[in-house]
Structure 1
Amino acid sequence: MDWKTFQALLSGVNKYSTAFGRVWLSVVFVFRVMVYVVAAERVWGDEQKDFDCNTKQPGCSNVCYDHFFPISHIRLWALQLIFVTCPSFMVVMHVAYREDRERKYRAKFGEDRKLYNNTGKKHGGLWWTYLISLFVKTGIEISFLYILHRVYDSFYLPRLVKCTVSPCPNIVDCYIGHPTEKKVFTYFMVGASALCIVLNICEIIYLIAKRFVRCANKVKRHNRNMAVQSNDFEDPFNNCNHAGLQELKEKPPAFRPCKSPHRSCALRLEEKIRASAPNLSVS
């Protein structure tokens, strides 16, 4: 495996990660990849050669080794590192897709036009891609821990195993080479994997909580803007009505005598009668 190329690919993921994602990447490189390359490969390099059985029966040692070690720890961890880091490339590919769309959009509408404010910002589809990659990484880590525990019955590595597989003539005692050293590295790699699971869960919670806070703030701003707009719309009418009511309360209307049209007609008729016959009087 070309670890330099592997590191170069993962370095691109670091630009689009959160703080938890950067810590996760550091743990993967320092506590898993470096330990794997520097020490773990050497410890498990001669495991089959140092697997000794107290019999000279041809094929018995090979069969017993295959029975107790169906897959090598070192190869299982290499496969785990490859599968765990693959979901991170989903984010890089999504950002590359955004950058390609941005380039085509600017070529069509001009360099001053923008389709995305920031192609690497986790909004919209990129946020979902990043969140799905975290769930996939967590699932892969848990799956490989379960496989390791299932295949070897536990994470504990014994010094002596008893084999009864054919063509062994009877119960054969087989001894594992460097059992304590292998057990220490097994626990270390399992602990690093568990730490990566915890970091992934923390990052998932952080992303979802941040999204909820952003949505809540957006709803509050929307409600505030709606309230301001409704107040601005009702003020001209409400102010007029309130001013009129207040003026009526402070200055009650003056009561004037009601002028009936019949009363005015009777007065004019009486004046005409007096003018034509001053001696007559209307009773």
Structure 2
Amino acid sequence: MGDWSFLSEMLDKVESHSTLLGKVWMSILFIFRIFILAAGVDGIWGDEQANMDCNTLSPGCRNACYDASFPISHTRFWVLQILTVSTPTFIYLGHVMLVIRKENKLRRQLGQKCDSNRMIKSPKYSDERGKVQLKGLLLVSYMLQLFFKILLEVAFIVGQYFIYGFILMPNVITFKGGNCRTDTDCYISRPTEKSVFIIFMLAMSVLSVVLNIIEIFQLMISKMRHRENKSIGSI
């Protein structure tokens, strides 16, 4: 399945600048999606086309049946899903790194005090350890990446249904067309195991959507309470 170390390192950096629910989402992405996909998918899927048996020896018929039934392999679809859904988080990480770099530069300027006549703004979003606070533009950036992750997850859930036309893996696919001159039955290997895997990955996608929605509402409620407490304290 390839090397996921780069993705792991990037998401580890994001985790230090996320909320508690954001860390839970990272754990689900790592343990229940990336790790299980990398560990178990090769043994269950393998070479899908080679493992498909058809009740005909017509050259090219099995290839045509497989291509019509699976325009893209489930495994490649899930890899594409994980990388795409993680992209908004990487963009947020880039924003965080940019903010930290700018504010570290401000700290150096404040420490040097090279120009006493010029007003230098104090760091607003991060502390000396590089820990950021979700407020202002950073909060907007964080909320946007949550929103886009929800949209992308839903798009892939719907897309999976429209691409394959089924949730459970069927035992047999009847196909006619291309090099298959008559109705041809092609039998899928390990359909039950594949069905369990499909359901599991769909469940993880739905859980990811739910966690992101809850996190958005949690952030909104938290900021509303903070404003209320601030307004009460100013009275």
Aligned to 2:116: none
Count residues in correspondence: 223
Stretch moving more, 60-69 or 164-173: 164-173
Runs of 4+ aligned structure 1 residues displaced above 6 Å come to none
User: Does 1:118 pair with 2:130?
Assistant: no
Amino acid at match of 1:123: K
Q: CA deviation at 1:145?
A: 0.6
CA separation in 2, counterparts of 1:117 and 1:93? Answer: 14
Other structure's SS at 2:49 match: coil
Matching of residue 162 in structure 1 with residue 170 in structure 2: no
Matching residue within 200, 209, 213 for 1:188: 200
Partner of 1:210: 222
| 2:54 partner amino acid | C
1:137-156 Cα offsets, whole Å, 9 max, x none, are: 11111100101011111211
Give 5+ residue unaligned stretches, structure 2.
Answer: 114-119
Q: How far apart are the structure 2 equivalents of 1:199 and 1:121?
A: 21
- Report the equivalent of 1:220: 232
Distance 1:111-1:117 versus aligned 2 partners, 3 A rule: farther
User: What CA distance in whole angstroms lies between the structure 1 residues aligned with 2:123 and 2:18?
Assistant: 22
Q: Structure 1 residue 216: deviation in Å?
A: 1.8
* Alpha-carbon distance change, 117 to 34 in structure 1, aligned in 2, over 3 angstroms: closer
* TM-score normalised to structure 2 length: 0.90
State the distance in 2 between where 1:23 and 1:107 align. 35
Amino acid at match of 1:28: L
Q: Secondary structure at the match of 1:12?
A: helix
Residues 81-111 of structure 1: CA distance to partner in whole angstroms, max 9, x if unpaired? 1011111112221221112211322333325
Unaligned segments of structure 1, at least 5 residues:
225-283
User: Structure 1 residue 128: deviation in Å?
Assistant: 0.4
Deviates more, 1:113-122 or 1:211-220: 113-122
Correspondence for 1:103: 104
> Structure 1 residue 3: deviation in Å?
0.9
For residue 144 of structure 2, what is the aligned residue in structure 1?
Answer: 132
Aligned partner of 1:62 in structure 2 is 63
Deviations 1:25-82 (A, max 9, x none): 1111111011100001331222111111111111111001000011100000000010
Root mean square deviation, CA, Å: 1.5
Q: State which of 143, 147, 156 in structure 1 corresponds to 2:159.
A: 147
Contact 2:175 2:184 (C-alpha < 8 Å) held by counterparts: yes
| Corresponding residue for residue 117 of structure 2 | none
Instruction: Report the CA distance between 1:219 and its aligned residue.
Output: 2.4
Aligned to 2:35: 34
Return the index of the structure with the highest Cα Rg: 1
